[in-house]
């Protein structure tokens, strides 16, 4: 089967030019006086939060139960560095994760690529880290996958058929493929093909592997981990499209944690020893073995541009 790799040239160029930045704005409850596109830490100390227990949630790209043990060693390390109790919060959806931080129930989180802008705009999320390989490289690609014998040999073959997305807040599961299909192939959901939603990347991948879904757009990082764990096998999946590389999950904190606590949390991320940990075993499947510093303004520019191309409005109400 033919595999297509087409870069988002127009969108990437717009991102480099900073086209998306002018459109991005935080909810009225947050302030960005330094112009870095994320909520400032409140100036008034009476607005700071210093919880006895830090609540952490990892983006629900797969069943949250899979990741409770994966993150356990890291969260023990964070507890030691911060002097706080740390609790893993198994969120079931991106919307629930964003709402939890907006409501003050979530303090530290990894938000997936597509929901980062919404979390920043609507929940006061301050991302500062991302997983990367030893050489500093990072990211994943969006893939459109199908199963052998499906009759789908190219993106154009999806016309008049059904494509399964994950969720509307997902970059690779909805936002990027929507922009790419429109820009590169003049195909729009509801007009040129039918769209369905699985709710999560593992659902989509399993659905295609079991031939319940004809085709799906997914993050290949999730697919790679599922292959490595023998949840699916190579002969169940075929790739008909692969995108440019996107930034992966962004890790950060709620904006109103005390400055000292925010510094301690960053220290926990950047000082974590990965060797021999469950985190290394799981994410090493993608070649990731460290946390590196990132900025939302620079590293998420292409994602904000995809949102702009899709007409996304960050409605925080």
Helices (H), 93-188: 94-102, 116-123, 176-185
Q: How does the average pLDDT of the chain come out, rounded?
A: 90
Which of 5-9, 109-113, 124-128, 129-133 shows the lowest per-residue confidence on average (mean pLDDT)? 5-9
CB-hemisphere CA count at 13 Å for 105?
Answer: 10
pLDDT band at 36 (very low <50, low <70, confident <90, very high): very high
- The percent of residues in the chain predicted with pLDDT above 70, rounded, is 93
Bridge partners of residue 87, in order along the sequence: 55
DSSP string, 37-89: SSPPPPSSGGG-B--SEEEEEE--SS-HHHHHHHTHHHHHHHHHHHSSEEEE-
Is residue 257 within 8 Å of 265, Cβ to Cβ? yes
- Cα–Cα distance, 291 to 283 (Å, whole number): 11
Q: Do the bridges between strand 53-58 and strand 85-88 make them parallel or antiparallel, or are there none, so unpaired?
A: parallel
* Cα distances (angstroms) measured from residue 275 to each of 8, 241, 264, 289: 36, 34, 21, 8
pLDDT band at 65 (very low <50, low <70, confident <90, very high): confident
Residue 4: its pLDDT value, please?
A: 37
Neighbours of 233 (CB within 10 A): 10
- CA torsion angle for 80, 86, 90, 95 (degrees, to 10)? -110
- Cα–Cα distance, 232 to 216 (Å, whole number): 15
User: Average of pLDDT values for 162-190?
Assistant: 93
pTM score, two decimals? 0.79
pLDDT band at 213 (very low <50, low <70, confident <90, very high): very high
4/165: higher pLDDT:
165
Helices (H), the chain: 9-16, 64-70, 72-82, 94-102, 116-123, 176-185, 201-209, 220-228, 259-270, 278-283, 296-299, 301-309
Q: Do the bridges between strand 250-254 and strand 125-132 make them parallel or antiparallel, or are there none, so unpaired?
A: antiparallel
pLDDT band at 23 (very low <50, low <70, confident <90, very high): low
Residue 112: its pLDDT value, please?
A: 92
Q: Which domains does the chain show, CATH number per domain?
A: 18-137+247-309 (3.40.190.10), 140-246 (3.40.190.10)
- Cα–Cα distance, 169 to 167 (Å, whole number): 5
């Amino acid at each position: 089967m033919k595999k297509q790799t087409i870069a988002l040239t127009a969108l990437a160029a717009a991102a480099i030019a900073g086209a998306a930045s002018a459109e991005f704005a935080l909810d009225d409850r947050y302030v960005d006086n330094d112009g870095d596109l994320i909520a400032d830490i409140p100036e008034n100390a009476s607005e700071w939060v210093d919880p006895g227990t830090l609540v952490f949630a990892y983006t629900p790209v797969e069943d949250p139960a899979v990741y409770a043990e994966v993150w356990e060693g890291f969260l023990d390390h964070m507890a030691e560095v911060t002097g706080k109790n740390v609790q893993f919060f198994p969120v079931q959806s991106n919307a629930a994760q964003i709402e939890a931080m907006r409501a003050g129930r979530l303090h530290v989180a990894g938000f997936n690529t597509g929901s980062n802008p919404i979390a920043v705009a609507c929940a006061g999320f301050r991302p500062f880290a991302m997983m990367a390989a030893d050489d500093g490289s990072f990211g994943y690609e969006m893939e459109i996958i199908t199963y052998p014998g499906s009759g789908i040999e190219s993106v154009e073959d999806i016309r008049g058929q059904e494509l399964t997305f994950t969720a509307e807040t997902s970059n690779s599961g909805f936002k990027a493929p929507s922009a790419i299909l429109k820009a590169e192939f003049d195909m729009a959901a509801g007009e040129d093909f039918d769209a369905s939603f699985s709710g999560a990347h593992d659902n989509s991948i399993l659905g295609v592997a079991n031939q319940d879904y004809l085709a799906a757009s997914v993050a290949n990082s999730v697919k790679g981990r599922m292959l490595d764990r023998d949840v699916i096998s190579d002969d169940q999946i075929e790739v008909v499209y692969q995108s440019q590389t996107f930034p992966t999950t962004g890790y950060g904190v709620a904006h109103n944690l005390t400055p000292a606590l925010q510094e301690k949390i960053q220290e926990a991320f950047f000082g974590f020893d990965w060797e021999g940990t469950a985190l290394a075993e799981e994410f090493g499947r993608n070649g990731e073995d460290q946390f590196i510093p990132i900025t939302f303004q620079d590293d998420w520019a292409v994602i904000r541009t995809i949102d702009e191309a899709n007409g996304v409005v960050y409605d925080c109400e």
